[in-house]
A and B are shown apart, each in its own frame.
Chain A
Amino acid sequence: MTTVRPGEAPPAGRGDSERPVRPNRLAAWRRSDRISVFGPPVALVLLIVGFSILNPQFRTMGNFRSILDTAAVLAVVAVGLTFVLMLGAIDLSVEGIMAASALSFALLIANNRNEIDLGFFAVVLAVGIGAVFGGANGFLSTRLRIPSFMTTLGVSAIGIGVATVLFGGVQPTIRSAGVTAWATGDIVGLTPLTFVALGVILLGVGLERYTRFGRYARVVGGAEDLALLSGIPVRRYKTLVFAFAGAIYGLAGVMVTIKLGSGIVAVGSGLNFAAITAAVIGGTLLSGGRGGVLHSIVGVLIVSVLANGLVLIGVDSNFQTAVQGFVVVAAVAITNWPLRRRLRVVK
């Protein structure tokens, strides 16, 4: 590689060979950055190798495809969430936004409850509803100066409430084979939804690296006060980030609804914390400004491989949650080990 990618630590060796080595403080920073960049992918590879040795069934092509198909929704959620975490904010509205979007989608596409069938436009509207909820997160956080922890929790409850009303006691079921085929179809062994997730990941990476939107999210997470001093409209970009994340959760809600074939309120159950966990494992820190979409995706793969592998090596299902939790804590401890000096004064 000849150029340094923005947002990543410069590759070791390049800067070092072109100019005299600067004081050891720099060397220390570089070293710790390198571990936080390469640590999670190495952990992922070790997990894959470990499970492959323990159970030959794990290393079949079919199983890898199954892991990817399962990881698709979590990956999409993680992309949206990563931008919020980048700000140094948190988003606990994933489940509420997914529920509102899922029910809206199920009622706007060909279904058993009404005669509406907007086709692709239903997806657009569902995503738009997600964006509105996300925008509300951003508006409340920036204008009323309420911490995102509280606003997103509140907005999530509103989303669940809206979804419950839309649900109305009769579960809307999708009546279109063309739509459900997105979850069952087969393109080189993967479902079309997995490719949708891939598209979202690429979109996320592009936004993060090559747009003002993405770069300013990083700037705000790095030092919000300094960004304000530099005349950057911080509130506007924060609101935009929340709205973007909301739209992405809306899409995730649509994806799960297509998978299930019907719209339910609990569509995003468990995904919010799974996505936060995946992001942090991958190196997108809650303190903001660090990591990125690809980091989070590696985290998603770690979480997914772990869940799949534990089943295959025969860990008692009663123990699985505990074992997963243990591995997650261990992974965070290891990947953050070089950062502990930097985190020293963080409470």
Chain B
Amino acid sequence: MTVQEMIAEPPMLEIVDLRKRYSETVALDGISFEVRRHEVVGLIGENGAGKSTLLKSLIGLVQPDSGEIRLHGSKVKLRSISQAGAAGIGMVFQEQSLIPNITVAENILLGSEGSGVRGGFYRWKELARRAQVQLDKIGCDIDPRAITETLSFADRQLVEIAKVLAIEERSNGEPVVLLDEPTSVLDADEIELLFAQIERLRKHASVVFVSHRLDEVLRISDRVYVLRNGQTVGEYDPATTDATELHRMMIGRDAQGSHYHEDRQLPVAEAPVRLRVTGATLKGVCQAVSFEVRKGEVLGLAGVQGSGREELCRALFGAMALTSGEIAVDDKVVNFSSPRPAIREGFGFVPAERRTEGMVATMSVAENITLPHIASVSRGPFLDRRAEATVVKHWVEALRVKTPTTSAPLASLSGGNQQKAVLARWMVSGDLRVLILDHPTRGLDVGAKSEVYRLIRDLSDQGIATVLMADSLEETIAMSHRIIVMKDGEVAAEMACDPGAKPSPVDVLEAMI
């Protein structure tokens, strides 16, 4: 775009020196950027960089203290989502914002049904027709009469996009669509579909794409802004930059290579076998899966959704019963019927859904850490508070859990520190032998991820066998000694991952699909 063109056409959306402070923390410290017509702008930053406050102020959920939001060159004040919609800004929320138990059409038009409702009475045909107009914009074949919760996550996201596009008719002109971490709940195939939609969206909207995943941002964006500490610290052209540079700008220091602590990958070829799985079968999920994990080894389990790896890991921990097959730890056969005996044998499990399965959010950091080993800090039926405090203090320090006090509710900590407390839980017994990690870094920012990687390496040094299902292929490859690729419930490939001779993501991907 030449200078003349830029003068001729003001940017769709312009943010000028936006500031917002909450009593003690500064969330936005003078953010400025612009989104031009039909452009996809990537927005990246660590947790706490100000992304969510920025997005909220763009849809009227947060009122900035100072600064300007300009649409088509003129200043706007946004006080609610519907006002932002009327002005032409809509957001696809990270946690989806669709009501599960009503139809797709109702969701798309919720709160602004127009001619779909007359005098309080629903006109279902008209409602479906109006919703269809929005669905047609993104060219998807979802039935507007379907109940939303019967759709897959990917389809629901398409409905979200269609819903946001409905603001086009309410505002004058093309909308600005904010996508907040849209890929975090999607698998590889679904991400491809989403990207195709963004390309389509570009023809009649401007897009702001917010993501943790740098490779995705680089792929889809025309320009990338990096946020740090509430400020815009850089503007990049994806053609002339790479993930390493963006990453460095995001965290403000050089973390290249050391991110995954690959130099600390322990040689384990000679180590004795810790976990041996033979012919593990779960009816309808996986058939005759066999593998070994040595002391100190990290085994990466790769596979698309439905490959059976999640279920298999639950079965290892006793949370699901194996139809047939054998699990042995240090050459002792253990087939668990529930997690309780598994914990006694030194198994630990970090589930993917940290908030709902991994932790008791309202209980304190200390209580969460001692949860499965309450007997070790009890005297008879009574809890020994002093013993608990000593144990908890030790692990909080060892794992560098940042918490004001150990009695603070776990929910009040940042995601990374929550996850460290969840990991600490399994280390308390001192007899942890096998650790199963289901997406341990999900939803964490880059700095917190690196801390979790460091912990995994520490555990590896202590001879703990780890089974890892990671968030990305890059992470799987970097962290693992070996990778087992599962496909349709069977082991499709096994790859060595020695430091310096790691397979490429494409190799692993090919085995997955």
Contact = CB atoms under 8 A, between A and B. Distances in A.
Interface of A: 3-4, 6-7, 9-10, 15, 18-19, 22-26, 29-30, 33, 209-213, 215, 218-219, 221-223, 226-227, 229-232, 289-290, 345
A15 B146 contact: yes
Closest 10 CB pairs of A and B: A230-B111, A222-B101, A222-B99, A231-B82, A289-B101, A231-B111, A4-B145, A230-B110, A212-B120, A223-B99
B81 A231 contact: yes
Interface in B370-422: none
Chain B interface helix/strand/loop/mixed: loop
Interface of B: 80-82, 97-103, 106, 110-113, 117, 120-122, 124, 141, 143, 145-147, 149-152, 155, 305-306, 356
Chain A interface helix/strand/loop/mixed: helix
A218 B81 contact: no
A6 B141 contact: no
Given A23-B152, A24-B306, A226-B99, 11 more contacts: A15-B146, A22-B151, A23-B305, A218-B101, A222-B99, A222-B100, A222-B101, A222-B102, A227-B99, A227-B110, A230-B82
A231 B102 contact: no
B433 to A, nearest CB: 28
A222 B117 CA distance: 20
B122 A218 contact: no
A223 B150 CA distance: 16
Contacts of B111: 230-232
A33 B117 CA distance: 27
Count chain B CB atoms within 10 A of each CB in A30, A210, A227 and give the residue with the most. Answer: A210
B122 A6 contact: yes
Contacts, number: 91
Contacts of A9: 147, 150
B152 A25 contact: yes
Count chain A CB atoms within 10 A of each CB in B121, B141, B150, B305 and give the residue with the most. Answer: B150
Contacts of B356: 345
A29 B150 contact: yes
B101 A215 contact: no
Contact of A219 (B81, B102, B152): B102
Count chain B CB atoms within 10 A of each CB in A3, A230, A289 and give the residue with the most. Answer: A230
A30 B147 CA distance: 10
Contacts of A226: 97-99
A212 B98 CA distance: 17
Contacts of B117: 212
B100 A209 contact: no
Nearest to B116: A212
A226 B97 CA distance: 6
A332 to B, nearest CB: 20
A218 B99 CA distance: 9
A231 B61 CA distance: 12
A212 B122 contact: yes
